Amino acid sequence: MSGEIVETDASGKTTVISKDSGHSLMPLADFPSREMAKMMHTPKTSELTNRLERIAVPTEEVGVPGRLTRNADGRAKYRRLYVTTAPIVEFASAKTAAVRDFYRAKQFGNPEYRRYKFETLQLRVGDALRPLPSCVQETAGTGFVVIAPVQCGKTALADALVRCFPKPFTIVNPPTEALSELHVFPIIRLKYPSNRSLSGLLKALRAAILEVTSDEHTKRSALSEMVEDESGDIAIATCILVNVGGLIIEGATGRKVHYVLTEEVMEFLVKVRDNGIPVTLMCTPAFMHGVKSYGSTYASIFDGVPLYLDPLKTSVQKGLASKESEISAREIPAEDTPSIETTFVKSFWQSGPSTKGKKMPRWLPQFVVDYCYGRRGWIAQCMEQLDIELGSSNGTPVEKWTKAYVEGVMKYRLKAMNPVRKVLGELERTDVISSKAKFLSYVDFLPNEVFELPLQGTWYEMLVTQGDNKNDTFEPPIISGP
C-alpha cells in the first residue's frame, strides 16, 4: 500500500499532501540528530543517578574563614545540591522511559500516523482532535504524580528531572519529504497557574513553545488560538506538532483548588495524557485530596506512577523521643547504620564551603531534622546558615557547638516560618490541629495522613467546595454505645 497521503476536493481532484518517504515505519526516535540519539539512549542506573544528583561544591573550593567573596561563590553552588534516593531514581527511570517510548511510537513512515500528523496541523478552534493512530495508542495514558508537602523537595526534583533531558532542539531536513525542519521539545516544565484557570496554563504553554520556535518575524498573535480554544484541543494539537515528549506541572497546592477552575485544568491534563503525552503533576497532599473530593472523573490523574516525598522522620516518629519532649532535650542514640536523615544532612555538611572537611557532631543530623520537622527545604536553609556562621571571621568553632547554639542559628534562619513550625509542633504532639483557621492557613505544609482525619478532612472539603464553618475549634466526636 502506498504511503502517500492525498486530499480530494469537491471536483474529484486529488492532491498529494505527504509523499511516501520510503522510510518504512521509521519512528521519530531514529531521526538523525545528536540530541535525539543521546535522549534515546537507555542509561544505566549509575548514569541516571549522576544526571539527577548535583555535587554542590567542588573539592578544591573549601571555605576560608574571613574570605567572604570566595565563600559566597562556593555557597551559590552549595544551594544547588541534590541528593537522590532509590525511589527517586526509579521514578526518574520510569519517566524517561515513557518519553523514549512515546518517541518510538511516532512512526513517520506509517501512513496512518502521517495522516494524523498532517490533519492535526490543520486543526482549528471548534474542531475535535483526531483519533490516535494505532502506533501511539499503546503509549497513551501514561501519567506520573509527585505528592509532597511544601518544602519537601518537589521543585528540586523538577530541576533534577529536567536535567535528564536535552533542551528543545530542531532536526533540519528530517527524513520526511513534507517537512523542512522538525521541532522537538523533550520536556516542558510549567507552573500551575496562579489564577488557577486553564487559560493561565495555556498562556504559559504557548510562551514556552514560542520561546524556542519564534524569531523576529514571528507575529505577536502567533499561536493565539491555543489560548482562545476553551477545550484545550488546539494546545494539545500544537504539542503534537512540535513533538512535546512530556509535561511537568509543578506548584499545584491546596490554596489553588477551585471547584470549577480546577476541574477544567484536570480535564485538560487528563486529555493530554490520553493523547499520548506523558504528564507529571507535582502537588501537595492538600491539592490531591481536594481534587479527589470532586469525584473520580478527574481524580484519575493520580492513577499514574506515584512518588511520595514525605518529610524526613523526626525522633518522635521513630519512637526515640516522647511527643511532649523539648527538641533540644532529646537524647538520640548512636546509629548502627546511617539513616536517610543522617545521610541527607551529612551531604550538606560535606558540601559546605566552611563545614567541608570538619568533623560533624554526632547529634547534629537528627537534631536539625527534628527542628525542621523533616522538611528538606528548611534543612537545606539551616545547614547553609550554619555554614555561613562557621565561615564568618568570628564564627564559633565546631568543637564548641552546643544544641542551644545550633538552635539559635536555625531559629534566626527560619524566623519567618515560626508560625508554621508551631502548627507542625502541635500536630506532632497531639496528632491533630485544633484550629480550623490554622489548618486552612498552613494546609499545604501538612502531610497526607492529616487529611484522613474525620474533622480536618471535613474542614478541607468545605474549603474546596467554597463552604463555610463558623466553628474554629476542635471538638472531639461523641462516641455512642457501651
Q: Mapped to the 3 state alphabet, what secondary structure does 337-389 carry? A: CCCHHHHHHHHHHCCCCCCCCCCCCCCHHHHHHHHCCCCHHHHHHHHHHHHHH
Q: Which residue has the cell 573539592?
A: 59
The distance from CA 131 to its chain's CA centroid, rounded to whole angstroms, is: 29
Within 10 angstroms of residue 9's Cβ, the number of other Cβ atoms is 8
Range of the domain at 273: 85-307
Residue at 361: amino acid letter: P
Residues of the chain with pLDDT under 70: 1-25, 55-79, 177-178, 216-217, 219-222, 295-297, 466-482
- pLDDT value at position 128? 81
**Could you give the CA distance from residue 399 to residue 419 in angstroms, rounded to a whole number?**
32
Provide CB contacts within 8 A for 204, sequence distance 6+: 190, 191, 193
User: What is the model's pLDDT at position 68?
Assistant: 45
pLDDT value for 476: 36
The pLDDT of residue 92 is 95
- C-beta separation of 447 from 149 below 8 A: yes
What residues contact residue 471 under an 8 Å CB cut-off, 6+ apart?
A: 436
What pLDDT is attached to residue 72? 65
Number of domains the chain is built from: 1
Q: CA 16 to CA 118: how far, in whole Å?
A: 12
Report the distance separating Cα 268 and Cα 235, nearest Å.
9
Residue 168 placed within a domain: yes
Span 336-363, pLDDT tens digits: 888 999 999 999 998 888 898 899 999 9
Question: Is 342 contained in some domain?
Answer: no
Beta strands 143-147; 279-283: pairing state? parallel
pLDDT value at residue 395: 86
Q: 185: which DSSP letter?
A: B
- List the CATH number of the domain containing 124: 3.40.50.300
- The reply to whether 332 falls in a domain is no
449 inside domain:
no
Strand partners, 170: 183
**pLDDT, position 412:** 96
**Alpha-carbon span 392 to 65, nearest angstrom:** 6
**Is residue 64 domain-resident?**
no
Residue 348 in domain = no
In a domain, 115, yes or no: yes
Distance, in Å, from the CA atom of 104 to the CA atom of 61, rounded to the nearest integer, reads 43
Gap between the Cα atoms of 221 and 166, Å rounded: 28
Query: Does the residue 267 lie in any domain?
Result: yes
